Chain A
């Protein structure tokens, strides 16, 4: 529920809840004021009558057309003025009436007189009717103005909040850009903005530190690896016997594996950091065709039949390097984990990429194949990061990847349909790792 609706409901709830009480208070106050005014007026009348009595005049003039009665009573009551307010049904007029009686006592010439008079006052019912009528208007106007002004004001007050939300949504650590938030005069939003600013600044700082660390770590690892690799190369040039050659070969093999693991982990780190975001679309079909062509010798050597169903004109929003790595890893697996003289079925449409190949059933849970360093141990040569990388590439591009094993077939399916989030960053396209031009002397 929107904040403004919540507030509106709250305000309206309070208004409806408080209104009956205020009505009772108003009613009472109006009624008592009317009565007081009437009593004062009637009291004046009785006073005048008393004065006339005192002066020895007959109170004709007053009694004549007014409901005044003068009675002589035995003793003076403790209260010199008694009032009585009551409603009754007037049978003549056929309506309810409300009457106010006032009786005042005066001591005149050692005689006690009770002077009574009355008048008809506004009935409680009439007051309530009037109040209900006013209330209907009041509630209507309050509701209308709360609804309209609430919306207008909230638009104004919440505009900076909405901008803040937009800024956060577009904020990615990989951008390396600080979060820019709109200025606001609302204390809470100021607090929120400063909190977000501090948080993102700190996150950026720490992200950069981690990134720097992983890059430095890679530097630190790569250099010793380079030393080892080059020294072994030089060692293999010296006079060595077959046994030594075998030892060097094994070391080279292991160093190679280390290099690949390090590279793959770095790639995963970078993918996690969303460093390969792109707004450009690449022709995925073209990359797929190139990749198949590049791997054709591998496919031929293994006697694998290629069933190629790569459609054309399939633009996808993915960094070209990632597209290549994705396809290379998937096709590489299809070749590696294939039966002798098996086949590879590649289906590429606008919506999905499916690669099927026959092979032995995986020895581990299919879901765990996407975990790092998990592999079906049919192939020792594999590093075990290929599918993790595939999954991570799919995650950053909002693709969905699924693996299944049915009818002795490995089936890996990548769905492109997932809604793509627009990314702000552009990356130089066409930079490729895989189809690098070999050096020509």
Chain B
């Protein structure tokens, strides 16, 4: 998957690049509107990460360009502006999703993957995310372990999906909480519920004799480990 990252803060750009490259993405990072335009007109990207406030322009103008030139790339807007009108303008302008700074890289990744799946419904098993014996159906929101239906709640499904998309990565409780409950919950004790949800998920998976891939990283959070415990 090829991604163009337009981010004027080079340090943040570097973080995103670092993360995405490790996830196997092919990644170009640019820091100005003009460079982004040149790249967009010469290379086909699967997805564009678009910062709205740029030193030499507005990301929304680039969005217009993408629509005008009929460029097929999916667009994920990154903005520090949480103003509702910005969000609405972005989505009305044809962006596929919107993420506000400061975001978690794991969240960014989950959003990118979700967009990619939506944009490519023709791919085989587009609606199924698999990991070893675990299969997740994104249409019916059902999870299966070795073909057996896993009885989990919506939040647990979201959690499992988040783990699998970000496998082998340390996910902080905060990142998980933000993913599950959004940015606007003032309840920092959501972290306790992350623990509860993880505990329940592990119990339910092991009830169906699934492997417990979830690893507690002391002081940090959790990791969905491919190798198993």
Task: Tell me the A residues contacting B by CB distance below 8 Å.
Answer: 215, 218-220, 222-223, 225-231, 233-234, 236-237, 242, 245-250, 252-253, 255-257, 259-260, 263-264, 266-267, 270, 275, 297-298, 301, 321, 324-325, 328-329, 332, 335-336, 379, 381-383, 385-386, 389, 427-428, 431, 433-436, 438-441
Contact = CB atoms under 8 A, between A and B. Distances in A.
Interface stretch (B41-49, B58-66, B180-188, B206-214): B180-188
A440 B117 contact: yes
A441 B189 contact: no
Interface string B185-211: 111111111001100000000000000
Given A230-B19, A259-B102, A382 B84 contact: no
B219 A242 contact: yes
B165 A229 contact: no
Nearest to A223: B9
* Most-contacted residue by chain A among B82, B158, B218 (CB, 10 A): B82
Nearest first, the 6 closest Cβ-Cβ pairs linking A and B are: A226-B102, A441-B165, A441-B113, A230-B15, A222-B80, A219-B80
B27 to A, nearest CB: 14
Contacts of A266: 82
A233 B19 contact: yes
A226 B219 contact: no
A227 B15 contact: yes
B186 A433 contact: no
B185 A328 contact: yes
A441 B163 CA distance: 10
Contacts of A379: 189
B111 A439 contact: yes
Contact of A431 (B84, B155, B165, B193): B84
B107 interface: yes
Contact of A225 (B87, B102, B169): B102
B186 A431 contact: no
Contacts of B180: 438
A233 B104 contact: yes
B87 A231 contact: no
Contact of A234 (B18, B80, B174): B18
Contacts of A270: 83
Contacts of B103: 226, 229-230
A233 B217 CA distance: 13
A257 B174 CA distance: 10
A386 B186 CA distance: 7
Contact of B193 (A248, A255, A256, A301): A301
A440 B158 contact: yes
A249 B164 contact: no
B81 interface: yes
Nearest to B181: A434
Given A222-B101, A381-B188, A441 B15 contact: no
Contact of B187 (A250, A332, A440): A332
